[in-house]
Amino acid sequence: MTDEPKPQPTNPAVAPAKPVAAVPAALAKPISRADFLWTGWAMLAAFFGASAAATARFMFPNVIYEPSQKFNAGPAKGYDIGVSTKWLSEQRVWIIRNEKGIYALWARCTHLGCTPNWWGDQNRFKCPCHGSNYTIEGDVIAGPAPRPLWRAKVEISTKGDLIIDKAVLEDIPGKRENAPYFLTLA
C-alpha cells in the first residue's frame, strides 16, 4: 500500500498570486535614435535654463537698502543760536548754531551708543545710560565715553537749505571746526 500525498492546508492570510500583466507594446518598444537625441537636447536646454536663472539671481541679490544718511534740514537761517532738537527723533541729530556758523552733532553716545539729552540749563549733553557728559562742542567732560561726539557733514543747497550727511563724520578737534563739518554763516 502506497502513501498518497496529503492535501496541504491553505492559509487564508496569503492571497493567491495574481498573473503578471503583459508589458504594453509601447513600453516594450526600444527607444529610437531620434527620441534619444531629443531627450538629450531637452536635458541640455533645462540645464542651461537653470544656469541662466541662477546667474540672473546672482545679479540681483537680496539686498536691504538702508535709508539715505543725507537729509534736508530746512533753511539754514531758520536756526537760532543754541541747540536745536528738531531732528533728534527723526534723524538723531542736533543742529547747533553759534555766532560764526552752524554744525550738526550725531546724537549717539560714543560709549555704548545711547542717545544723550541736551540740558540747556547746564549747557551740556548728558547720557542717561552711564552718565557721560559732553560740552556743546561735543567734547567729553565726564563719564566713560572714550571720545567726542561725531559731527556730520553740513552743506548748504542752492536754495539755502541745510543738507546734513551722517555718512561723513569727524570728531578730531581742529578738523571738525572746518568745512565740511562746520558751515560759516554770515
- What residue ranges bind ligand FES (CB under 6 A)? 109, 111-114, 127, 129-132, 143-145
Closest to ligand FES by CB, 127 vs 154, is 127
Nearest-approach distance from CB 121 to ligand FES, in angstroms = 20
Select 61 or 146, whichever has its Cβ closest to ligand FES: 146
CB of 110 to ligand FES, least distance (A): 8
| CB 172, min distance to ligand FES, A | 20
Rounded to whole angstroms, the Cα distance separating 152 from 106 reads 6
Q: Rank residues 44 and 112 by Cβ distance to ligand FES and give the closer one.
A: 112
Q: Which is nearer to ligand FES, 129 or 156 (CB)?
A: 129
Cite the DSSP H helix spans in 21-167. 25-28, 33-59, 88-91
Strands 124-126 and 140-142: unpaired
Q: In whole angstroms, how close is the CB of 118 to ligand FES at the nearest point?
A: 14
Please state, in angstroms and rounded to a whole number, the distance separating the CA atoms of residues 105 and 89: 13
Nearest partner of 117 among 104, 134, 97, judged by Cα: 134
| Closest approach of ligand FES to the CB of residue 179, in Å | 29
Q: What cell was used for 144?
A: 566713560
Q: Which is nearer to ligand FES, 151 or 153 (CB)?
A: 151
Distance from C-alpha of 85 to C-alpha of 92, rounded to nearest angstrom: 9
| Alpha helices for the chain (secondary structure H) | 25-28, 33-59, 88-91
